[in-house]
Structure 1
Amino acid sequence: MIKHCLRMMGLLLAIGVQAQDNRLTLDQAYDLARQNYPFIKQKDLVRRTADLTIENLNKGFFPQFTVSGQATYQSDVTRIPITIPGIKLDVPGKDQYKVQAELNQLLFDGGNITAQKNVQTANELVEDQRAEVELYKVKDRINQLYLGILLVDEQVKQVDYVKGDIQLGIKRVEAQVKNGTAFRSSQLTLEAELMKNDQRIIELKANRKGLVDVLSLFVNKQLPVDIQLAQPVIPATLVQEPVARPELKLYNYQSELFKVQNGLISAKNRPRTSMFIQGGYGRPALNLLNNNFDWFYIAGLRFNWALGNLYTTKKERELLQVNQRMVDVQKELFMLNTNTQLKQQQAEVDKLSQLIQSDQQIIGIRAQVKEAANAQLTNGVITVNDFLKEVNAEDQAKQSLITHQLQLLMAQINARTIAGNQ
């Protein structure tokens, strides 16, 4: 009994997992495409590059150790032109040798290292957001594929509905042929139309498979041919939502980058101080009058102020201001284009909403005409071709409704995508 229960639980779990794998929502498609899109790898590379650069900058306050050596020959040396009785002053050799090591500890760099770290952090945000902008563009492609599959699904349902009408007509004509009140050719005409309907289903399913295969490439997952796509639910507040596109964050991060770059310019113009100690071995050492090899060392503080950067500081700041104005212009242009696209999508939504209302009225009329034709075909009042004409007219009206409904959904989703809220 327990084994039977466990087996049933396992079967139900397997069915649940299979059902979940056979269903996909638009948000799931977005997430899978984002996770598997090659550009996502650039975000990790940008982050890793910034981390490594900042780690190296932090080492700027580590003690710096250098070793150097030299061997020289000079044309003359320092001499003392005085003769002191009883004292012999050695003349330094013209060949001199020195090996020394220096330990330097930076004490104050004017905030240069901190400014460089700020620049790296700000630049990381900019590059990371550039990747976000590219990743957001994938949503537009997913929208087209996803809604394309939904459109095909609705078209297949409509073709099946028409197929039912034709099959019903065949049954009625068959009875008339048996009773001798209709020609066999009428039945054959309906059967040929039924075969055309089957061909249409084959074409639609082939189109659906192509769309599913492309969607599988984007989500990096082989989706089953019969994958069921959930219809997106669009909130009522469609176009009224504020624009939240990743490009806006990119413009803000670029402005912050210019600010920290301006701080780096200031830091480069400040003086630096450091502590150092030198030690070495050579001839002569610190005592130039001693011509023998000897050890030596020097310790002290070093002050350095590079004033050459002052020549270019003004122009560098002006260049940052020009770049900032360029970003402001790009942001203004982006908002203009985005608001224009939103207005166009809103107009499209309004138009399609009106068309759908008209489609529903037309379908109501066509359905009544078809039912009348159905009754007339049963009574032998009209021909099969007349009946098919009304069936196809209703089909065309329903196909228009399906197309307009999916176009409305696409316009609504596009509006949310354009605004950055999808």
Structure 2
Amino acid sequence: MTILKLNTMAKPVRFQGNFIEYAPRVLNLTGLRYFILTTTIGFFFAFVPQYILAQDSGKFISLEYCYEQIEASYPITQKFEIQKKITELNDRIARSGLFPEVQLSASASYQSDVTEVPFAANAPELSKDHYNVSVDVTQPIYDGGRTGAMRKLEMEQRAVEDAGVKTELWNVRGQTEQVYFGILFLQKQSQTVNVLIKDLEKQLESVQAKIDNGVLLPGNGLVLEAELLKVQQQSIQVRYDLEAAYEVLSELIGEEITPDTELEIPSVQAMGFIPREISRPELELFSVQTNTLNLQQELTASDKLPKVSAFAKTAYGRPGLNVFENDLQTFWIVGLKAQWSLKSLLNSGKKEEVLELQKRKIQADEETFRLGVKNELSKSEKKLEQLREQIELDEKVLKLREQVVKEKKNLLEQGVITSTEYITELNAESQARLNLEIRQVQLIQSIIEYSTKKGISWN
């Protein structure tokens, strides 16, 4: 595989006591986009911790674990073993073409007339009832390479089936990533909503005390109570969405998991090496499909050649080889025979032409697939750059919102502003924090999706 090596002169980024290396520029024809991807990954580590473990239940699963469960228990994986057995049986059938063929036959007949020898005084009288029990043995000597081609074709057919299963599993992997990160987004939203509920409850308690003392009007408390109910409704919706998402993930990995199970935020490593070529299972499928057609052409070519075999026959019956011997007798025949089909010779060229056209169709499909993946990767690279810039701005926005909320909180406690004004700023701060956390997770998701689209395992 051709790979692009990044410059090892890297600037370290300190994160939780560790140093994450990322390359400042890309060598060997990588271009600006690979630089953006690599520096984005390095930038990401400055903001997102490597793991989020369960704080309450202590139970968690990782995205890598989900991958392993899919490969181990997803129903379609049974096709690997089934196809293996099919290939073994078909190979035995194909290999039998080299073995001798033995046929046992028996017959009894009665005919209306028999051969007579004219002008012979002592000619034997032949019986009209005939009996025959025989064993015929045919041993192939040369079949034009047909048996070997059929065996190789069976093995390649298995490779085609396996590649098809791998492609389907890769698609399931992509679906799992979508559900997995969907749960992470919902959890982030749930955490933000819970923090907002606690802030509102605390502020409502403070405002209610001032209302009881006659410092504030009762309307301030009612506004806070209404907003608290609204946020609690959001919390209920998020909870049910999480339950539904966990059910979908359970179906995908074949293991029941509940919302009590925390999902680990994947830890993506800074990519020191970025392969230039994609390595998706679809490409393997195109390759083995082409190989299958090549072997079919080899099999077709064998039709042009003669088939040579040896044969032997032994029998007991009446009449034997000497038709004038009317008694039951034993006889045998041995010899060689050659077969050559003119029809197969004439059609083999047309069959090879058809197979060549089918190979061109596969080549067109592969080129179309590569173009589609290339376009998707270009969009992913742009999205990575976009998220990096947005995260920088999200941090600045959050700091500003925190300062505003702190100021409004003091003003509300002094009775200078209404609770409505405070709630407006509190919601703005909550949304700013949620935007930052979601985009940080989106950055991880985008990096993993980029690897999945390219056929590279993120771990």
- TM-score w.r.t. structure 1 length? 0.88
SS of alignment partner, residue 75 of structure 2: coil
Which of the numbers 64, 81, 91 marks the counterpart of 1:44?
Answer: 81
Deviation at 1:138, TM superposition (A): 0.3
Larger radius of gyration: 1
Counterpart selection for 2:256 from 222, 225, 243:
222
Q: Is the contact between residue 303 and residue 348 of structure 2 (CA under 8 Å) also seen in structure 1?
A: no
> Which residue of the other structure, out of 387, 392, 400, is the alignment partner of 1:352?
387
Residue 203 of structure 1: how far off its partner (Å): 1.9
Q: Tell me the equivalent position of 1:314.
A: 349
| Distance of aligned partners of 1:36 and 1:238 in 2 relative to their CA distance in 1, 3 Å threshold | farther
Q: Which moved more, 1:189-198 or 1:323-332?
A: 189-198
Which consecutive unaligned segments of at least 5 residues does structure 1 have? Answer: 1-18
1:34 and 2:68 aligned: no
What is residue 10 of structure 1 aligned with on the other side? none
Among 325, 347, 354, the residue aligned to 1:290: 325
Render the CA deviation track for 1:105-136: whole Å, top value 9, x for unaligned.
22332221111101101111011111111111
Which of 125, 128, 132 is equivalent to 2:162?
A: 128
Structure 2 CA distance for partners of 1:239 and 1:152, relative to 1, 3 Å: farther
Matched, 1:195 2:225: no
The CA RMSD measured in Å over matched residues stands at 2.3
Offset from partner CA, 1:87-120 (integer Å, 9 cap, x none): 6122534543322121222233222111110110
Corresponding residue number in structure 2 for 1:334:
369
What is the CA-CA distance between 1:149 and the residue it aligns to? Answer: 0.8
Match of 1:273 among 304, 308, 315: 308
Which residue does 2:9 correspond to in 1?
Answer: none
Q: Deviations over 1:62-105 (max 9, x none)?
A: 3322122334455665554454xxx6122534543322121222
Which residue of structure 1 lines up, in the alignment, with residue 10 of structure 2? none
Show CA shifts across 1:150-185 (max 9, x none): 011111221222223323322432342243211233
Q: Which runs of 4+ in 1 moved over 6 A?
A: none
Aligned letter for 1:229? Answer: L
Task: Give the corresponding residue for 2:335.
Answer: 300
**Of 151-160 and 395-404, the range deviating more from structure 2:** 395-404
Question: Which residue number corresponds to residue 372 of structure 1?
Answer: 407
**Structure 2 CA distance for aligned equivalents of residues 172 and 303 of structure 1:** 105
> Per the alignment, do residues 238 and 393 of structure 1 end up closer, same or farther by CA in structure 2, a change over 3 Å counting?
farther
Letter in 2 for 1:61: L
Larger mean Cα displacement after TM superposition, 152-161 or 398-407 = 398-407
Native 8 Å contact 1:22 1:224 kept in 2: no
**Hey, what's the Cα distance between the residues in 2 that align with 1:262 and 1:54?**
19
Of residues 85, 101, 106, the one that matches 1:64 is 101
Q: 2:396 aligns with which of 358, 361, 365?
A: 361
> Structure 1 residue aligned with 2:417, among 373, 382, 387?
382
- Contact kept, 8 Å, 1:170 with 1:191, in 2: the verdict is yes
**For residues 40-82 of structure 1, what are the alpha-carbon distances to aligned partners after superposition, in whole Å with 9 as ceiling and x for unaligned?**
1222222111110101222233332212233445566555445
The answer for the alignment partner of 1:118 in structure 2 is 152
**Cα distance in 2 between the residues matched to 1:349 and 1:160:** 29
> For 1:98-113, what aligned pairs fall within 5 Å after superposition?
98-113=132-147
Going by fraction, where is helix more abundant, 1 or 2? 1
CA–CA separation in structure 2 for the residues paired with 1:70 and 1:157: 88
Q: Distance in 2 between matches of 1:407 and 1:43?
A: 34
Contact 1:284 1:294 in 2 (8 A): yes
Q: Secondary structure at the match of 2:266?
A: coil
- Going from structure 1 to structure 2, the CA distance change for 1:238 and 1:315 (only over 3 Å counts) comes to farther
Of stretches 373-382 and 236-245 in structure 1, the one that deviates more from structure 2 is 236-245
Aligned 8 A contact 2:318 2:327 in 1: yes
Check whether the contact 2:243–2:258 (CA below 8 A) recurs between aligned residues.
Answer: no
The answer to whether the 8 Å contact 2:142/2:308 transfers is yes
Consecutive unaligned residues of structure 2, counting only runs of 5 or more, are 1-55
Residue 285 of structure 1: CA displacement?
A: 0.6
Tell whether the 8 Å contact from 1:239 to 1:342 is kept in structure 2 after alignment: no
Deviation, structure 1 residue 371: 0.8
Deviation at 1:362, TM superposition (A): 1.4
Q: What is the percent sequence identity of the aligned residues?
A: 29
Deviation of 1:20 (Å): 10
Deviating more after overlay: 398-407 vs 37-46: 398-407
Structure 1 residues 136 and 119 mapped into 2: Cα distance closer, same or farther (>3 Å)? same
Question: Using the alignment, how far apart are the partners of 1:167 and 1:413 within structure 2?
Answer: 39
Equivalent residue letter for 2:59: N
Contact 1:90 1:289 in 2 (8 A): yes
